[in-house]
Amino acid sequence: RKEVEQDPGPFNVPEGATVAFNCTYSNSASQSFFWYRQDCRKEPKLLMSVYSSGNEDGRFTAQLNRASQYISLLIRDSKLSDSATYLCVVSRQNTGNQFYFGTGTSLTVIP
């Protein structure tokens, strides 16, 4: 079983739409959770860390459900510039703080 699983999409949404991405992780010892954004042919960049209480950064909201081992990312009022691949990432210290990446969810925001 993969460490991190994501729906690969693609998600094609109109500008202004709200879109949600989901991710599950297999190891309950996972301790840190992140969403990264990767533009085409570029390196991944941190979008936001995900905290147990949930957290919001502008139009982006991340939620963590430890009991279900589930992470989500909600994007409100989608912009054309949000088009990218979104990577779900987890890490845990018992493997030397390795990072485990989902395969990514592709988002295209359409004018």
Q: Which residues bind another protein (CB under 8 A)?
A: 31-32, 34, 41-46, 49, 51, 87, 89, 91, 93, 96-99, 101-104
Q: Measured from the CB of residue 80, what is the shortest distance to another protein in angstroms?
A: 22
- Tell me the C-alpha distance between 51 and 31, whole Å: 10
Strands 11-14 and 105-110, by their bridges, are: parallel
Amino acid at 18: T
Which stretches of the chain are assigned E, i.e. beta strand?
4-6, 11-14, 19-25, 32-38, 44-50, 55-57, 60-65, 70-75, 84-92, 98-101, 105-110
Q: How far is the CB of 73 from another protein (least distance, A)?
A: 15
The CB-of-87 to another protein minimum distance in angstroms stands at 7
> Could you tell me the two tokens for 104?
């990514």
* Residue 1 vs 14, nearer CB to another protein: 1
Nearest CB to another protein, comparing residues 19 and 88: 88
Least separation in angstroms between CB 44 and another protein: 6
Cβ closer to another protein: 2 or 79?
2
